[in-house]
Amino acid sequence: MMDVPNKLNLPSYKEQAPDVKARLDELKQQPVVIEVEKLVKEFPTEEGVRRILDQVSFNVHKREFMSIIGPSGCGKSTVIRMMACLEDITDGVILVDGSPVSEPGADRGMVFQKYTLFPWLTVMKNVMFGLEISGKSKFDAEREALQWLDIVGLEPYADLYPAQLSGGMQQRVAIARALANKPKVLLMDEPFGALDAQTRAKMQAYLLQIWEKIDITIIFITHDLDEAVYLSDRVLVLEANPGRVRELVEIPVSHPRSPDQFLSPEFLTTKIHLEELIHPSAEESQDEFEVVKMAATGVG
């Protein structure tokens, strides 16, 4: 299995350049914001209890960008929805800043794959929604909402309704709306999954910019390996049936990230490794074919 990367003379994904290693070491010194301990999710079916997640544990550090990937059915969306308390926890515990979570709250902002702007409110009022709940005066809420719209580059659109915006713009407003609450963590459940490839690339760049600009921890669900490698510090790989942690992969790609790095050896070797983790049962020859094709064309 490993002779394919060798053929292409790729380094191991475990080799980290000094700057990358320093950065990751520093990250791991940061306090833990999210602690997931032995998380279990079961639900009853006609054949009996089905276990979706089995003893999933991992930590997310302050300022970290962590992606969670895995084959379909591995429960990656369930994990993030349990963090937001949109799903009940069967067993285990999720700690945010040391306290276990039990109900949804503004400290865990979320961006969904579906467009979830409130269609009866203007862009501005959407961003103000959480600010007003937190008890801010209308004046303060408006001022802060405009600042956040400025950060996502949509200030001129403040008075429009969601139906007047493109999908990418709606997701940027959704990000601004979640960030306006100053959450401890931003949970993103395949936020760009419904966008076309070009818009998605733009949104990835926007998200990296925002993440570098402000002090925020992000947990990001995706099934797009390029996206996971391009955006993340670390990638948590889950396996399916039941969902378990397979590996926590540190991304050896240096910062700041740019689309040029898609073809760099460390990017490719990481992506190949992730691919192998997600599809371990696939035929080797098939893997080889896929890998060579990806390496040759530079797309996945």
Partner 1 sequence: MSTQEKWFRFGKNLSPKRQRGLTVASFMLPLILWSAISYVPFIWHPEVRISEVGDTIYFDVDDRIDIETFQLENQNMVEAGSVPMVGERVNPVYFPAPHEVTKALYSAFVTEPRRDGEPWFHESVAHSVRVVFWGFILSSIFGVPVGILCGVFNTFSKLTEPFVEFFRYFPAPVFGALAVAILGINDAPKVAIIFIGTFFQQVLVIANTTRTVDFSLVEAAQTLGAKPGRLLFKVVIPSVLPKLYMDMRILLGWAWTYLIVAEVVGTSTGISWFINQQAKYRMFENVYAAILVLGFIGLGTDMILGAIGRQLFAWEDGRRSAFSRLFRKTKPVAAEA
Residues that bind partner 1 (CB under 8 A): 84-86, 104-106, 108-110, 112, 114, 116, 118-121, 129-130, 133-134, 156-157, 159-164, 166, 168-169, 174, 177-178, 181, 187, 198-199, 202
**Nearest distance from residue 158's CB to partner 1, in Å?**
9
Please give the order of strands across the beta sheet that includes 99-100. Answer: 48-61, 32-45, 91-96, 99-100
Tally DSSP H helices, then E strands, for the chain: 10, 10
Which of 43/289 has CB closer to partner 1?
A: 43
Measured from the CB of residue 86, what is the shortest distance to partner 1 in angstroms?
5
Nearer to partner 1, 23 or 182 (CB): 182
In the complex, what is the shortest distance from the CB of residue 150 to partner 1, in angstroms, rounded to a whole number?
15
Instruction: Provide the token pair at 113.
Output: 């794959």
**H or E segment at 176?**
helix 167-179
Q: How far is the CB of 47 from partner 1 (least distance, A)?
A: 25
Pairing label, strands 244-250, 65-69? unpaired
- The pair phi, psi for residue 71, each rounded to 5°, is -65, 160
Minimum distance from residue 41 beta carbon to partner 1 (Å): 17
Are 197 and 28 spatial neighbours (Cβ–Cβ below 8 Å)? no
**Distance of alpha carbon 168 from alpha carbon 4, whole angstroms:** 37
Instruction: Tell the smallest beta-carbon distance from residue 106 to partner 1 (Å).
Output: 3
H helical segments located in 216-264: 225-231
Nearer to partner 1, 23 or 202 (CB): 202
Judged by beta carbon, residue 57 or residue 166, the one nearer partner 1 is 166
**Run of H or E including 88:** none
> Closer to partner 1 at the Cβ: 25 or 150?
150
Task: Return the number of the residue (73 or 104) whose C-beta is nearest partner 1.
Answer: 104
Compute the distance between CA of residue 215 and CA of residue 217 in angstroms, rounded to an integer.
Answer: 7
> In this structure, what token pair is assigned to residue 24?
């990751």
